[in-house]
Amino acid sequence: MCRLVAYFGSPITLDTLLYAPEHSLLVQSYQPKEMTSGIMNADGVGMGWYRYGNEPEAFTYRSILPMWSDINLPQLSRYVNTKCSVAYVRSATPGQATDLSNCQPFQHRQLLFVHNGFIENFRQTAYRPLRDRLDDRTYQSIHGTTDSEHIFALIVQAWEAKGDLKHAVRSAMATLAELSDKYNAAVSANIAIADGEQIVATRFATPKTAPSLYVFRDAEKGVTIASEPLFAGNWQPCPDGNLIYTRDRHLDIEPLF
């Protein structure tokens, strides 16, 4: 099961999330503390960030190497300076290919998305019903095979329809809950999605308890969302079944439904 980090606030270099903390994303790739399945995250690493001009412009870096083996990322993460970013390390679901098409963050226009979780027996349960919910344009935008990218597609379709990111996330999670109930497939969907001006995240699972997710708010710097605390401090566990919303230094945690 993957580990994720998202940040919105004052500009920082990405190494302050990925490498500098005592329990950085790098450490979580080989020595996570709160994973509910698997023992490490060795199947890839990715990060996404924004450059700011007239409007936020999204960029991604993705690799199928274990994070500790990627010799380019430490240099790049010290160079990139941004106020909004997402990152993750991957523990691939058995049977899923370890290739770039399945590596996060997934991107659509200015949206960047990372997911920690799964849809149980995805190919045998919710795969076809979920794809049937998608219009042709969104359907054709899926390049990989993961349940994660299909969850992102649900969000993208709802976002394209109304332009409201919080609404789109809630709509997608409601669809997942419906499919989980109908096809008796457990769903776990800790996500973080950004558009450069805001981040929406969820801690959600049905019918079981969701994986860990924490929030750290620094009044001067900004908000960090992470699967596990990156450093000692006043990290707030996100309650199960809740949505996290941050814009600038504003933070809301509220029931998902």
Mean pLDDT, contiguous 10-residue spans, the chain (257 residues): 94 97 98 90 96 93 97 96 97 80 96 97 95 97 96 98 97 98 97 98 96 95 97 97 94 96
Is the domain covering 3-255 a CATH 2.40.30.30 domain? no
* Closest to 112 measured CA to CA, from 18, 195, 2: 195
Q: Where are the domains of the chain?
A: 3-255
Tell how strand 205-206 and strand 222-226 pair up.
unpaired
Helical (H) or strand (E) element with 214: strand 214-218
- Spatial separation of the C-alpha atoms in residues 98 and 81, rounded to whole Å: 29
Cβ atoms 76, 17 nearer than 8 A: no
Q: Which of 2, 84, 103, 238 is catalytic?
A: 2
Q: Is the peptide bond before 105 cis (omega within 30 degrees of 0)?
A: yes
* Closest to 230 measured CA to CA, from 93, 40, 87: 87
Q: Which pLDDT score, from 0 to 100, does residue 124 have?
A: 94
* Closest to 150 measured CA to CA, from 133, 164, 163: 133
Q: Which pLDDT score, from 0 to 100, does residue 54 have?
A: 85
The alpha carbon dihedral of 123, 239, 18, 61 has a sign of positive
Q: Is 2 a catalytic residue?
A: yes
Tell how strand 205-206 and strand 187-194 pair up.
antiparallel
Tell me, yes or no, if the pTM score tops 0.95. yes
Q: Which pLDDT score, from 0 to 100, does residue 143 have?
A: 95
HSE (side-chain half, CA atoms, 13 Å) at 155: 29
Sorted by sequence, the CB contacts under 8 Å of residue 69 that are 6+ apart come out as none
Cite the DSSP H helix spans in the chain: 15-18, 25-30, 73-79, 127-132, 136-140, 147-162, 165-183
- Spatial separation of the C-alpha atoms in residues 213 and 177, rounded to whole Å: 19
